[in-house]
Amino acid sequence: MASYRIAVLGDRDSVLGFQALGLSAFPVQGPEEARTILHRIAKENYAVVYLTETLAVEMEQDIARYKDALTPAIILIPGKEGSLGIGMRNIKAAVERAVGVDIL
Amino acid sequence: MAVMNVNPTRMELTRLKGKLRTAQRGHKLLKDKRDELMKRFLDTVREVRALRAQVEEELMRVHGSFTVASALMSGPAMEQALMYPKQSVELDMTFQNIMSVNVPRYEFRTRTKDNGDIYPYGFANTSGELDDAVEALGEVLQSMLKLAEIEKTAQMLAEEIEKTRRRVNALEYVVIPDTEDTIRYITMKLDENDRATTTRLMKVKDMLLAQAIEEQKARDARALEQFR
CB atoms closer than 10 angstroms to residue B28: 12
Query: What pLDDT does A2 receive?
Result: 65
Does A1 score more than 60 pLDDT? no
Cβ–Cβ of B155/A68 closer than 8 Å?
A: yes
Cβ–Cβ of A47/B109 closer than 8 Å?
A: no
| E-strand stretches of B58-171 | 89-98, 101-110
Q: What is the pLDDT of residues A50-86, one digit of tens each?
A: 988 888 888 888 888 888 788 788 888 888 777 778 8
Give the mean model confidence (pLDDT) for residues A35-62.
87
A67 and A90 Cβ atoms separated by less than 8 Å: no
> How do A46-52 and A24-27 pair as beta strands?
unpaired
Distance of CA B136 to the CA centre of its chain: 40
Give the mean model confidence (pLDDT) for residues B178-203.
95
Give the mean model confidence (pLDDT) for residues B142-161.
89
B111 and B88 Cβ atoms separated by less than 8 Å: yes
Q: What is the pLDDT of residues B55-71, one digit of tens each?
A: 988 888 888 888 888 78
By 3-state DSSP, what share of chain A in percent is helix, strand and coil, each rounded to 5?
A: 50, 25, 25
Q: How confident is the model at residue B33 (pLDDT cuts 50, 70, 90)?
A: very high
Does B111 score more than 70 pLDDT? no
Residue A72: asked if its preceding bond is cis (omega within 30°), the reply is: yes
> Which has more pLDDT, B86 or B103?
B103
Chain B residues with CB-CB distance to A14 below 8 A: 63
Of A16, A22, A48, which has the smallest distance from its Cβ to B106's Cβ? A48
Q: In the predicted model, what is the mean pLDDT of chain B?
A: 87
Cβ–Cβ of A75/B92 closer than 8 Å?
A: no
How far apart are the C-alpha atoms of B80 and B82, rounded to whole Å?
6
Q: How confident is the model at residue B113 (pLDDT cuts 50, 70, 90)?
A: low
In three-state secondary structure terms, A77 is strand
Q: How confident is the model at residue B221 (pLDDT cuts 50, 70, 90)?
A: very high
How far apart are the C-alpha atoms of B119 and B142, rounded to whole Å?
17
Maximum average pLDDT range among B61-70, B78-87, B131-140, B145-154: B145-154
Query: What pLDDT does B164 receive?
Result: 93
Does B16 score more than 60 pLDDT? yes
- In chain B the domains, ranked by start, together with CATH numbers, are 10-169 (1.10.287.3240)
How far apart are the C-alpha atoms of B148 and A47, rounded to whole Å?
10
Q: List Cβ neighbours of B137 (8 Å cut-off, separation of 6 or more).
A: A17, A18, A20, A21, B62
- In chain A the domains, ranked by start, together with CATH numbers, are 5-99 (3.40.50.10580)
> Which has more pLDDT, B147 or A79?
B147
B100 and B159 Cβ atoms separated by less than 8 Å: no
